[in-house]
Amino acid sequence: MSLSGSQGSGQPIAPIAAVNDFVVKFANVNGSGSASANLLFAKSILRMGVPIAPRNIFPSNIQGLPTWYELRVSEAGHLGRRGGVDMMVAMNPQTWDKDVQEIEPGGYLFYDCTKPLPSSKFRADVRVIGMPLTGICNERYTDPRQRQLFKNIVYVGALSALIGVELDVVSQLIGEQYKGKEKLLKPNIEALKLGHDWAMANLEPVGLRVVRSDRVGDRIFVEGNAAAALGAVYGGATVCAWYPITPSTSTAEAFMKHCSKLRVDPETGKNRFAIIQAEDEIASIGIVVGAGWNGARAFTCTSGPGISLMQEFIGLAYFAEIPAVIVDVQRGGPSTGMPTRTQQSDILLCAYASHGDTRHVLLFPEDPKECFDFGATSFDLAERLQTPIFLMLDLDIGMNERLCEPFTWDDSRSMDRGKVLHHARLEDGAAFGRYLDVDGDGITWRTYPGAHPTKGSYFTRGTTKDRMARYSEAGPDYIENMTRLQRKFDTAKGLVPGPIIRMAAGPTPVGVLYYGSTAPAMNEALEAFEADGVHIDAIRVRAFPFSAEVEQFIAEHDCVFVVEQNRDSQLRSLLVNELEIDPKRLPPIVHYDGTPITARFIVRTIGAKLGAIAAPERVLGREEARP
Amino acid sequence: MTYIAKPQFHHPGLPKNALGYTRRDYEGAVSTLCAGCGHDSISAAIIQACFDLDIQPHRVAKLSGIGCSSKTPAYFLGNSHGFNTVHGRMPSVLTGANLANRELVYLGVSGDGDSASIGIGQFVHAIRRGVNMVYIVENNGVYGLTKGQFSATADKGSKSKKGASNADTPIDLVMLAMELGATYVARSFSGDKEQLVPLIKGAIAHRGAAFIDVVSPCVAFNNHPGSTKSYDYVRAHNEAVNSLDIISPREEITARYPAGTAAMVTLHDGSQMLLKKLAEDYEPRDKIAAMQFLMKHSAAGQVVTGLLYAEDDSDDLHEHIGTVLAPLNTLGDAELCPGSRALAGINAGLR
Ligand SMILES: Cc1ncc(C[n+]2csc(CCOP(=O)(O)OP(=O)(O)O)c2C)c(N)n1
Ligand code: SF4
Ligand SMILES: [Mg+2]
């Protein structure tokens, strides 16, 4: 039975031929066990030295709904979503039509041909590869569960044969996965071979090929949430309070896992950490505030709806000056919105969280490596600045495994516990006024409860107080306090991670500003522009408040595109508001359908704007663009 | 982490406790509550209890929500750190503080509005978790600070100052606390210092979630005829089921009680709790019988007070989650940061 070859009618089209540069998408049913098989396939390619960028596209449901795994293979190391699909592994009849539609002309459709489908279900310009997966598995296995589970491994075996993934590599990964569980190892290897051998005997190879390369180096492959949680361990967090919400849940779960390995006292078996699954997000942040007030490093992780609930406490932490770290893994809002899709839409919510005049420090990691780094640093910042720090992830970074530089740690580094007067200094007669700005940087000294019998105690409150922390309703006390808080925020500018600037090959009045998970798509887009001779300088903002370089970069360009993954160009609003920039000089580029932004989108939209205004050098002359 | 204070100079005649502190060392700022407000009597009882138990004032952390009742931590234990949090959310902040340093005494002060309405969720969950704390609700049946609206503990049919009748079923925080697993539950009356002080002492000595509902009349908005939280009503309907004595480890037990009328329990800190029966049929270690008694008597309009429920071998949140004995806020880089070697291993597992 030969099932390869085109089944549709119409004129043939040249099949896509690509080596180490293509997109395979798996269309599965949620809960069918496909996730680990797909990951296995992806990791095998990685082990062959070829960079990959996988993305889970999943529903807010446990079982039965469609789910996709989009795997980009990119020798060049492009880790953003590319858009388009070269090969669809269509395992879900529910989404068949849409999935088939998505394939690029000349692409491939791999499917389970046990039950024949009418030719109208196929496309003439797509090469169809049928494999009777159900038939093969029904013949080989009697247990219905095994039939389902091994079907996934069987197709991994077949795909490996088709595109040249080395079987030894896949086998080794299975071996690592089932180390010590020999009972499971053997049948998995068998299923892999079953699929592989069937494909070798019955299918023709496709134009998509993986060949060994050396482009991965010592990079690691990890989810941002797990990386941020590891950063919290290295950053000295001891208290975590959280309430489950996608896409942040795996941050708390990872913290739990890391701690159980890294933070158990070897002598007593007791925990050097406390994790509370709270009753809601209000309690989560309350616990964090209480722990921070009492001198422990504490964090919560949540997503937009949780941040909405935390507003009152965030204001308290700002005003009473209590360290706290809040990991916000952003998803599509407003309301329940798109709970399993990605967005950068909590920027303004977090920057100005709570009633009254507030401003908060936000950090924007671009990948898991920075999730780890900023995760650790956020605790230093929180204690140094005595204020909430928001670590702004999103679903794209948080819940997808991403290739990134390995984690590093300088063992000479120690926690910056900030300005704390302990017993000895109080005893030595250090003057203490909780809200007294002795150093002029807006940051005042604090004491921990229980530090000294007669010195250093004070009453913490969300009401206005004077410098000595005494209740006050006096206008001047209030104003002094609020201006000092603003001074402290200015101090933060010099402490937060600065932007990363990337200058084009030639001088240009055009810039682009972006942040967070937009980075890989932007890197690719910038390469494409440069290859076309279009010069665009780029700045990746890594924190709010904006440091002086951000202001300078914008000042040095006539037009700076601000690229974001939300509808309202929220970071742009922040730039306009905080730096008093003429909005006309900051054209917004927004992508907000819930899928990760692509290089194609950036090139198309910015390209169109540049095209529409012709050569940017001429039209956006410096004089003209200046207010 | 424990430092003994050098007491300040005071009038030589003032009595001192074992640490050399006078009662004044446990006082706070001058109260700004209405004259006659029940809450001030509770502050006085807290001061007395801490003085009697020889607690170092700075080893207490006092936390509250928002309300007249929640203001009171400013009026006692002036050498303690205090935290006036947000409305109804003291329990979570206290929980976090307790996680950070398990060595302090945590005293949470709240109101009936603070704990039974906006904060009931946090009340419920802090109790469930067995946070080691003394949780006092100063219960006046109204929102004092916002000028006298009914709270969720106001009895059905009780009258507001303006004459409106409350139609809603009241929440009995004592019953709720018992059901949720509080290991020390009491009710008292701000006007009965004799009863209240030992109950607070017992709660401090207790390990785990200790809850005390103190009926505390609001003279400004809920002390009129028709109110069931007025001084007159509570005096007329107070039914104390037992009386408590807390004897510190260094004290000698002098009183003699006829067999069967008193029970002695050794508390976590070594002090002795002497419980004297007033109601023949009340047994504070039998939760089901106690709850039955409470329901029956409160249906009859009685305010049942005393130590209503206690577990002797109680434990707390830290034991449940297995934290180290050292306060988490004292752990340093060596204990917390796994270092670059461990990280290399982690990196290797991610390739
Ligand atoms: C979020 C929020 N909502 C409303 C208020 C207004 N408020 C302040 S105190 C209070 C009620 C306090 O009642 P209770 O806890 O019984 O204290 P009491 O004054 O009676 O002692 C209310 C509703 C507030 N501070 N915060
Ligand atoms: S209003 Fe009521 S509760 Fe508030 S201080 Fe006055 S008497 Fe006390
Ligand atoms: Mg009240």
Question: From the CA of A84, how far away is ligand 2's center (Å)?
Answer: 68
pLDDT of residue B8 exceeding 80, the answer is: no
Are B183 and B314 in contact, with CB atoms under 8 Å apart?
A: yes
Query: What pLDDT, on the 0 to 100 scale, is given for residue B280?
Result: 87
Query: What pLDDT, on the 0 to 100 scale, is given for residue A424?
Result: 96
Measured at the CA of B97, the angle between CA B95 and CA B103, to 5 degrees, comes to 105
What is each CA distance from A508 to A465, A491, A619, B66, B263, in whole angstroms?
Answer: 51, 32, 12, 57, 88
pLDDT of residue A10 exceeding 80, the answer is: no
Structural domains present in chain B: 23-320 (3.40.50.970)
Same domain? For A57 and A130 the reply is: yes
Neighbours of A309 (CB within 10 A): 17
Secondary structure (3-state) at A152 = helix
Average pLDDT of every residue of chain B: 93
- d(CA A104, CA A494) in angstroms, rounded, equals 48
pLDDT of residue A264 exceeding 60, the answer is: yes
- d(CA B54, CA A440) in angstroms, rounded, equals 41
Q: Which of A147, A182, A209 is the last residue of a domain?
A: A209
Query: What pLDDT, on the 0 to 100 scale, is given for residue A79?
Result: 97
Which residue's C-alpha comes closest to atom 6 of ligand 2?
B34
SS3 content of chain A, % helix, strand, coil (to 5): 40, 20, 40
Same domain? For A46 and A168 the reply is: yes
Query: What pLDDT, on the 0 to 100 scale, is given for residue A612?
Result: 54
Same domain? For A240 and A195 the reply is: no
Q: Which residue has the higher pLDDT, A97 or B8?
A: A97
Closest to A159 in 3D by CA, of A97, A87, A81: A87
Query: What pLDDT, on the 0 to 100 scale, is given for residue B263?
Result: 78
Same domain? For A82 and A148 the reply is: yes
Q: Which of A209, A231, A265 is the last residue of a domain?
A: A209
Q: Which of B138, B219, B229, B231 to mutate to test the pocket of ligand 2 (most atoms within 8 A of CB)?
A: B219
Buried b (16+ CB within 10 A) or exposed e, B273-299: bbbebeeeebbbeebeebbebbeebbe
Same domain? For A175 and A226 the reply is: no
Query: What's CA A129's distance to the chain center, in Å?
Result: 34
pLDDT of residue A453 exceeding 80, the answer is: yes
Query: What pLDDT, on the 0 to 100 scale, is given for residue A64?
Result: 77
Q: Which residue has the higher pLDDT, B249 or B59?
A: B59
Neighbours of A6 (CB within 10 A): 17
Distance to chain B for A383, nearest Cα, Å: 13
Question: From the CA of B208, how far away is ligand 1's center (Å)?
Answer: 27
SS3 content of chain B, % helix, strand, coil (to 5): 35, 20, 45
Are A228 and A327 in contact, with CB atoms under 8 Å apart?
A: yes
How far the first Cα of chain A sits from its last, in Å, is 72
In a domain, A276, yes or no: yes
What would the mean pLDDT of B130-139 be, rounded to a whole number? Answer: 98
Q: What is the pLDDT of residues B166-224, one digit of tens each?
A: 999 999 999 999 999 999 999 999 999 999 999 999 999 999 999 999 999 999 999 99
Same domain? For A226 and A137 the reply is: no
B84–A407: do the CB atoms touch at under 8 Å?
no
Same domain? For A572 and A602 the reply is: yes
Q: Which of A365, A382, A404 is the last residue of a domain?
A: A404
What would the mean pLDDT of A142-165 be, rounded to a whole number? Answer: 94
CATH number for position A242: 3.40.50.970
Q: What is the pLDDT of residues B158-176, one digit of tens each?
A: 999 999 999 999 999 999 9
Query: What's CA A478's distance to the chain center, in Å?
Result: 39
Query: Ligand 3 is a single-atom ion; what residues have CB below 5 A from it?
Result: B 111-113, 140
In a domain, A181, yes or no: yes
pLDDT of residue A328 exceeding 50, the answer is: yes
A295–B82: do the CB atoms touch at under 8 Å?
no
Ligand nearest the Cα of residue B229 is 3
Same domain? For A183 and A249 the reply is: no
Question: From the CA of B42, how far away is ligand 2's center (Å)?
Answer: 13
Ligand 1 proximity of B146 Cβ (cutoff 6 Å) = yes
What would the mean pLDDT of A416-433 be, rounded to a whole number? Answer: 95
Q: What is the pLDDT of residues B244-259, one digit of tens each?
A: 998 877 776 666 666 6
- d(CA A88, CA A100) in angstroms, rounded, equals 7
- d(CA A460, CA B84) in angstroms, rounded, equals 6
In a domain, A422, yes or no: no
Ligand nearest the Cα of residue B110 is 1
Ligand nearest the Cα of residue B220 is 2
What would the mean pLDDT of B280-288 be, rounded to a whole number? Answer: 92
**pLDDT above 90 coverage of chain A, percent:** 91
pLDDT band at A31 (very low <50, low <70, confident <90, very high): confident
- The one-letter amino acid code at A64 reads G
- d(CA A447, CA B81) in angstroms, rounded, equals 9
What would the mean pLDDT of B44-72 be, rounded to a whole number? Answer: 97
Same domain? For A568 and A538 the reply is: yes
Secondary structure (3-state) at B342 = helix
Phi, psi (rounded to 5 degrees) for A496: -80, 160
Query: What pLDDT, on the 0 to 100 scale, is given for residue B255?
Result: 61
Question: Which structure tokens are listed for A416?
Answer: 């910056």
Ligand 1 proximity of B16 Cβ (cutoff 6 Å) = no
Range with the poorest average pLDDT among A20-34, A508-522, B144-158:
A20-34
In a domain, A625, yes or no: no
Q: What is the pLDDT of residues A199-242, one digit of tens each?
A: 999 999 899 999 999 999 999 999 999 999 999 999 999 999 99
Measured at the CA of B214, the angle between CA B208 and CA B217, to 5 degrees, comes to 160
**pLDDT above 70 coverage of chain A, percent:** 96
Q: Which of B81, B103, B318 sits opposite A457 (nearest CB)?
A: B81
Query: What pLDDT, on the 0 to 100 scale, is given for residue B249?
Result: 73
For residue B211, list its beta bridge partners: B135, B185
Same domain? For A135 and A236 the reply is: no
**pLDDT above 90 coverage of chain B, percent:** 86
Query: What pLDDT, on the 0 to 100 scale, is given for residue A19?
Result: 98
In a domain, A314, yes or no: yes
pLDDT band at B271 (very low <50, low <70, confident <90, very high): confident
Query: What pLDDT, on the 0 to 100 scale, is given for residue A61?
Result: 78
Query: What pLDDT, on the 0 to 100 scale, is given for residue B9?
Result: 57
What would the mean pLDDT of A457-471 be, rounded to a whole number? Answer: 95
CATH number for position A56: 3.40.920.10
DSSP string, A32-88: SSHHHHHHHHHHHHHHTT--EEEEEE--SSSSSSEEEEEEEEETT---SB--SEEEE
- The one-letter amino acid code at A534 reads V
Q: Beta A274-277 vs A66-74: how paired, if at all?
A: unpaired
Closest to A447 in 3D by CA, of A463, A468, A472: A468
Are B298 and B237 in contact, with CB atoms under 8 Å apart?
A: no
In a domain, A473, yes or no: no
Query: What pLDDT, on the 0 to 100 scale, is given for residue A624?
Result: 30
Q: Is the pTM of this model over 0.90?
A: yes
Range with the poorest average pLDDT among A596-610, B144-158, B273-287:
B273-287
pLDDT of residue A314 exceeding 80, the answer is: yes
Average pLDDT of every residue of chain A: 94
Task: Say how many domains are in chain A.
Answer: 3
In a domain, A433, yes or no: no
Query: What pLDDT, on the 0 to 100 scale, is given for residue A481?
Result: 97
Q: What is the pLDDT of residues A354-379, one digit of tens each?
A: 999 999 999 999 999 999 999 999 99
Query: What pLDDT, on the 0 to 100 scale, is given for residue A478?
Result: 97
Same domain? For A278 and A163 the reply is: no
A274–B321: do the CB atoms touch at under 8 Å?
yes
Domain that holds residue A80: 18-209
Buried b (16+ CB within 10 A) or exposed e, A324-351: bbbbbbbbbbeeebbbbbbbbbbbebbb
CA atoms within 13 A on the CB side of B30: 1
Query: What pLDDT, on the 0 to 100 scale, is given for residue B265?
Result: 78
Same domain? For A180 and A241 the reply is: no
Give me the interface pTM, i.e. the ipTM: 0.96
Residue of chain B with shortest Cα separation from A317? B85
Secondary structure (3-state) at B238 = strand
Question: Which structure tokens are listed for A288?
Answer: 């964090």
- d(CA B215, CA B158) in angstroms, rounded, equals 15
Query: What pLDDT, on the 0 to 100 scale, is given for residue A618?
Result: 31
pLDDT band at B260 (very low <50, low <70, confident <90, very high): low
- d(CA A248, CA A264) in angstroms, rounded, equals 24
Residue listed under structure tokens 């009349």: B217
Are A220 and B350 in contact, with CB atoms under 8 Å apart?
A: yes
Q: What is the pLDDT of residues B9-31, one digit of tens each?
A: 556 689 999 999 999 999 999 99
In a domain, A442, yes or no: no
Are A435 and A484 in contact, with CB atoms under 8 Å apart?
A: yes
